[in-house]
Structure 1
């Protein structure tokens, strides 16, 4: 595809990797060299907050937390939307030597309490929206507020109490001041795993992301994905701050399709990253809302955290006039493990999630032997971004982390040039009379059917075959495409055993807070 002038080849000498060792010194280079450059754009008035002002707020929070009896290596929860409070609390806690566990503020009180207890957090920091809910937590809950004036001056309100120094409970006993974050994997309270990431893990991830996309002080983005997961935290927020760029935090701290393009124009955004579900929304609304020539010229658009079908990818590139780069990552690898390169740095390959970025990637068979090029197997990842294991779960750590390799549970294949293509999740495979079927593959085919907006494929219990293939399909127009037309398309593009035996037309599909398809909810809703 043609690349717009704004995305043309940069002078390679202009790119300089960020000099960071973790969250503690994330802002230091920018404060020294560009103190008054904008770091964040916040509030409904889109007020700019400079690197110098942001660092001062973080230092103030660090001092107050240090005076509350918290020790270096202690864990604290962070329950905030994508707000200035989140950023200031995260960086302030890091500067105080604490380990921060971001939590989804939409979780019910029982799940927030269970995660804080399992972690052994000493306290929790809340922004005004979270504290206003009146949740009762098993640890001290301290309300944090950041006020930013139109002139760009800022002040922080935080009155922490004093933590007693009782013996550490929960998983926090496994942490030290080398650790920066504890992220919870997607899942219910009893299934979510705690992933400790060191400052070294964080720094390696940020250097890799910045290098992959050549991010620098001229770049800006809008925070689409939530910061309590790796996608929004590493790819949008921290990589932008490490590289000297700018992040606009939408009003009320969450993505809004209705204001997205206004936000992009307000910050002169050069890129953004999102899950496929968000890309689908933006594409569907583009005829009414995409500003066309008035839109900021984009260097690239990034997609991660779930498979993006090729039809949507091509449509997005045509609409936004920028290359769409698919990436692949997981919490246990500090987010990104592979990505398609910028067009001037390599070829874009449909259906691929790119080449390894800062890590080694293997595809192995069931015996742990490396597969030949083009042969499907489990994807394994090794490198400086990979976590050491899970907290308080030695058995699961032993199964997932093997001789320094992370067993991702994803199925895929590497081609001769090292590009990775994903074919599904091992645990999602449908076994229809011995035939193993990837739901993700069938979903990709369904999404290519004219008139289909999105699809979810699931296993239907069957007395004869064990499982059959079911599909829930969302169509773009209520009367646009019939069920039999979709099945005919499937018969033309799928093996006979892959064609859905049950197909339901639905108005919407359930999604997780992370933005991925909620397969458990799909199974419960449509499989019985």
Structure 2
């Protein structure tokens, strides 16, 4: 059983419960087989509905216009010498070019590997080589970013132009049909595959995750069904599309359900324009990591226009633990539920989610129930744990990848029996809600006591005046490790010092869990996806 004093809080909040489809019991998720037919139903049934809102002018691109651009790119790629099942890189910010390139290439039978456009040349080349990409589709960088580093394979520039009259055209400079020899993981791919995504981390740590069209279709259907997304819904793209969070939850689920996605004019999230973007899109929801939610909450007193101007139905949080104090504060501010989600690249993003209010209660501190996968929490012997007992989280189902590309050892370790062994720790309650308690690899061993840094971080973040916290292991000759912490304080909490924070911890943590060393810092490092960068934290403070 858990020895930590965990507490679940069941919350019923007064929010509008009207979903995109008037009768929730009749909701049917979109029927699709993968990325190749993602737009087909909308082009048939709602060709003139908004699919995208793009550029700083916030031009509207209909499903009919988007499909025409996609078909154009599909045709042009057909003359390059690429064959079905070949890998192609996609290096682009969150712009119309990304969407057109992704859908055009997959419709041509290619396997697309989206790559962070801000990577340095060495990491860019390493990822392109590892996946065996035979060319790169190159879109414009985000505002303020340097031009994309040159890679070792042909880079084909793709540009979408939308005239003031609303007509859209695409230019694709392929430079002829010559392609380089096959390298990397190409022979592990087939025409059944749609994507290769890189897990978060540095180049030497990131793993390549192949996802089939069937994986994609199952994930998109599950996300749409969880939130009952439909043609009346719209969102603003906050998270980058080269990671599964932004790609599946914001972009693909919206397009599959006939909704609309606004792509910020800068090509990436900007807190300065976010609420104007939400209003321009008539957005009904959005999804982000906790760091973004914290930023929006901090600025809400001045910038948030109010629920009458932007009446969102729900907000979604994924990518890192969400502090319950932040969750409650945002729900009060927005007048809408903030739903915590558990997802990962290996499962084509979403695994669990808190439900919409009309579908079940919110339990603050949990990440909700399974949304289409089989979920287990097991002990060290692989036996299912009783409710309330901590163990490793295992996942199995139609969204889960078959393994890692070019990494048989990693595949054997993480997928030994068809189940993905996540290395996440957690427990299920009596209602099947999952509560995450940490990562196996990040446990701190202090004199034989196992300490979850995520749990201590959650306690620290609940201290008045603390905005964010990072907990790490400090090597110690006697105990093996001691517990260290770095915290960021809110502006109004600048008078809060280490001793006040530690006193708060002593009242809520076991003695061995209380940080031995705590320092207040200006900021903490984050990954490209918005989560806490633990390797960088260790390098900065764990000494």
Same fold (TM over 0.5): yes
Task: Sort the Cα spacing of 1:132 and 1:502 in 2 relative to 1 into closer, same or farther, 3 A.
Answer: closer
8 Å contact kept, 1:101–1:183? yes
Structure 1 counterpart of 2:80: 68
Q: Which runs of 5+ in 2 are unaligned?
A: 1-11
Shift of 1:3: 2.9
Task: Check if 1:128 corresponds to 2:143.
Answer: no
The 1:523/1:7 distance shift into structure 2, 3 A limit, reads: farther
1:516 matches 2:528:
no
Q: 1:134 to 1:526 in 2, by over 3 A?
A: closer
Cα contact 2:444–2:451 (8 A) shared by 1? yes
Q: Is the 8 A contact 1:414 1:420 kept in 2?
A: yes
Change (3 A) 1:166 1:126: closer
User: 2:221 aligned with 1:207, yes or no?
Assistant: yes
Distance 1:174 1:325, change over 3 A: same
Distance in 2 of aligned mates of 1:165 and 1:232: 30
Structure-to-structure mapping, 1:38-437, within 5 angstroms: 38-129=50-141, 133=147, 135-164=149-178, 167-437=181-451
Counterpart CA distance in 2 for 1:135 and 1:175 is 26
Is the 2:526–2:533 contact (alpha carbons within 8 Å) kept by the matching residues of 1?
Answer: yes
- CA deviation digits over 1:239-260, x for unaligned, max 9? 0000000000001210000100
Give SS of 1:257's match. coil
**Counterpart for residue 3 of structure 1:** 14
1:15 and 2:27 are equivalent in the alignment: yes
State the TM-score, normalizing by the size of structure 2. 0.95
The offset of 1:403, in angstroms, is: 1.6
1:190 and 1:108 map into 2 onto residues whose CA distance is 14
Shift of 1:167: 4.8
- Residue 5 of structure 2 is matched in structure 1 by none
1:69 and 1:165 in contact (8 A); partners too: yes
Describe the superposition over 1:244-288 as per-residue Cα deviations: whole angstroms up to 9, x where unpaired: 000000012100001000000001110000000000000011111
With over 3 angstroms needed to count, the CA separation of the structure-2 counterparts of 1:482 and 1:135, relative to structure 1, is: closer
What number of residue pairs does the alignment pair up?
528
- Does residue 499 (structure 1) correspond to residue 497 (structure 2)? The answer is no
8 Å Cα contact 2:134/2:179 also seen in 1 = no
Superposed CA deviations along residues 3-37 of structure 1, whole A, max 9, x for unmatched, are 33365794125522101100000000000000000
Comparing 185-194 with 278-287, greater Cα deviation is found at 185-194
Q: Does the residue aligned with 1:428 lie in a helix, a strand or coil? A: coil
Change (3 A) 1:507 1:289: same
1:378-402 deviation per Cα after TM superposition (whole angstroms, max 9, x unaligned): 0000000000001111111000012
Check whether the contact 1:221–1:269 (CA below 8 A) recurs between aligned residues. yes
TM-score, length basis structure 1: 0.98
Q: Which residue of structure 1 aligns with residue 504 of structure 2?
A: 489
In structure 1, distance between residues paired with 2:185 and 2:14: 49
Contact 2:307 2:335 in 1 (8 A): no
Q: Secondary structure at the match of 2:84?
A: coil
In structure 1, distance between residues paired with 2:273 and 2:243: 22
Maintained 8 Å contact 1:7/1:322? no
Inter-partner Cα distance in structure 2 for 1:315 and 1:501? 30
**RMSD value over aligned CA atoms?**
1.4
Contact 2:79 2:177 in 1 (8 A): no
* Aligned 8 A contact 1:75 1:100 in 2: yes
Of structures 1 and 2, the one with the larger relative CO (CA 8 A, separation 6+) is: 2
Report how far residue 126 of structure 1 moved.
Answer: 0.7
Query: For 2:16 and 2:37, how far apart are their aligned partners in 1?
Result: 34
Q: Deviations over 1:136-184 (max 9, x none)?
A: 2110001100011233210001021234466522101111110000000
More helix by share: 1
Is the 2:137–2:155 Cα contact (8 Å) retained in structure 1? yes
Does residue 39 of structure 2 align to residue 27 of structure 1? Answer: yes
1-side partners of 2:535 and 2:222: how far apart? Answer: 33
C-alpha separation in 2, matches of 1:86 and 1:188: 23
Quickly say closer, same or farther: Cα 1:200–1:442, change in 2 above 3 A: same
Q: Is the 8 A contact 2:93 2:140 kept in 1?
A: no
Aligned pair in 2 of structure 1 residues 134, 28: CA closer, same or farther (>3 Å)? Answer: closer
Kindly report structure 1 stretches of 4+ aligned residues shifted beyond 6 Å: none
CA distance in structure 2 between the partners assigned to 1:315 and 1:109 by the alignment: 42
2:362 aligned counterpart, secondary structure = coil
User: In the TM superposition, what are the counterparts of 1:439-454 in structure 2 within 5 Å?
Assistant: 439-454=453-468
Matches of 1:208 and 1:293 in 2, distance apart? 28
